Each structure stands twice: as structure tokens, then as C-alpha cells.
Amino acid sequence: MEVKKIAVLGAGLMGHGICQVAAQGGYEVSLRDIEQRFLDSGMAMIKKSLQKFQSKGQLTEGQVAEILSRIHPTLDLKGAVSDADLIIEAAPENVELKKAIFKEVDMLAQPHAIIASNTSSISITELGSATKRPEKVCGMHFFNPPQLMKLVEVIKGAKTSDDTIQTVLDVAHKMGKETVLVKKDCPGFIVNRVLIPALNEAAALYWEGVADRDDIDKAIKLGLNWPMGPLMLMDYIGADTVLAIADVLTKEIDPKFHPSPGLKQMVKAQLLGRKTGKGFYDWTQK
């Protein structure tokens, strides 16, 4: 199937970036959210990001204008999805909310349209079951920020067709992304299933007083060649998000993923990282 029009649902942290890379890939994109202020802030972030690319000489002024002309912000869900070939849902990580969106979109979208979720931990099979087209539902997990991060995890639900997967892989490649295929719908997919236990252990090392913060981050940066240490990375992701994914992995896969007391302590104390100003690092000064 050829995709010409894409609808992105949610203009927030991930949604606006996904919309931008879709428009940069040459697609017409409807960007839909539930309030005008969310659309305004999403569009402002897209413009800022494109200007950054322009100032680095990666895009011309004409290209920036062309990319922006392909983006159509809207509050109207029906208008956004009724002529879309691919709908990418980028709503908050809440299973009931996502299922409600999938159910509604299923009724409004054309029969051939694919509905993909940018979820990082929710079951694609469960989201597919909220629709009458589970064979056309898959996961399309971008990484933050989507404008810069090269990877997209494409996830097959229990009933997702091979055609659907191929179409979504092709779209991701046209957006300039590298893809990996997750053949079984499993919580955390590939990246978070490996990353979350690593972050959890780093938090445990810190709270048990095994080593200082800076030495833990230095050890992993230099010893494993990570671009950023695990404690700093956790401050970027948010300790609450790490805890939420650890809880899902524990419940759905194996008790071995259970979050460390230190990680729980951070969340209780609202030391979530950048979003609250303090985590393992102090972000109020920077």
C-alpha cells in the first residue's frame, strides 16, 4: 500500500517531532490535538527545530517553508483521519486513553488505513483488539527527540499482517529512519527491555552508596561507550517514566525487573529529573 497522507494524534513531546520528520519525508501531515494551546506549542517547537537545521546549513529557507506547508494543525479528529493512509497515535502512555482513541479512529478512518501507536510499553495486541482492523494495527516506536534519533522500533501485534509491517517499515525509511522489527508483541520491545534494568541497577548502585554519582556515570560512559551516563539519562527520561516501565515489565514478563527501592524513593520525593528541576543532578542552575 502506498502512503500519501499521515495523521499524527498528539502534538506533545513526541507527536510534534514525529509530525516534523513525516513532513520532512515528503508526506502531507495532519497534526491533531484536543486543545489549541497544545497545537500552538507543538507548531512553535517544529518551527524552532527547523530553524536550527537551517542555521546549521542542513536545510534552506525554501525547504523549511515547504516542510511547514505540508503540516496541517487541527482540532478536528474526523477531518484529520478521514483521508489519512497512516494514523500515528502519540497520546500519553495510558492504556485506557489509547484504547479509546483507537476505537474512535477505527470508526472514522478509511478501511485501508493503518493505525500505529508510538507507545513504549503498551501491548499492540491489546490496542488492536479495540478496533475491527487488528491486522492493520502495529507499533511504531520513535525515540526522543524524533528529529535527531535514528531508530524506529516497528512492532507486530498478534494479528498484524505482513503487509501492514512492510508499509510502516517503508514509511519509516522514507522519513530517514533506521528500523528494527519486533516480531512478538512483548512489553518494553527491544530497547527498553535492555535499558530499564540497566537504569534501575544504576539507581541501586547510587542509593546503596557503592559509588558516587559522577563515577557511576563515568564508568558506563567510558566502560560501555554510552554517549551519556545512566543517571543523567534517567534525569532526561524522568524517574517516574522509568518506574512505570519497570512496573509493566515486572507485571507482564518477570519479577526480575522489579524496581529498586532507590528508584521508588526518587519518585516519592518528586526527584524526577529535568521535569521537576532535580533528580540525580540539579537542573535549576543550567
Catalytic positions, written as ranges: 120, 141, 153, 192
167, 114 in Cβ contact below 8 A? yes
Residues 20, 123: Cα–Cα separation, whole Å: 26
β-pairing, 151-156 vs 137-142, is: antiparallel
- Identify the DSSP state of 90: -
- Residue partners of 238: CB distance under 8 A and separation at least 6: 272, 273, 274, 275
Residues 222, 250: Cα–Cα separation, whole Å: 30
Task: Give Cα separations from 23 to 19, 83, 147, 150, 184 (angstroms).
Answer: 6, 16, 11, 16, 30
What are the φ/ψ torsions at residue 88 (nearest 5 degrees)? Answer: -110, 115
Q: How far is CA 205 from the centre of its chain?
A: 28
- Residue partners of 136: CB distance under 8 A and separation at least 6: 112, 113, 114, 115, 160, 161, 164
Quickly list H helices, 82-185: 95-108, 124-128, 162-174
125, 93 in Cβ contact below 8 A? no
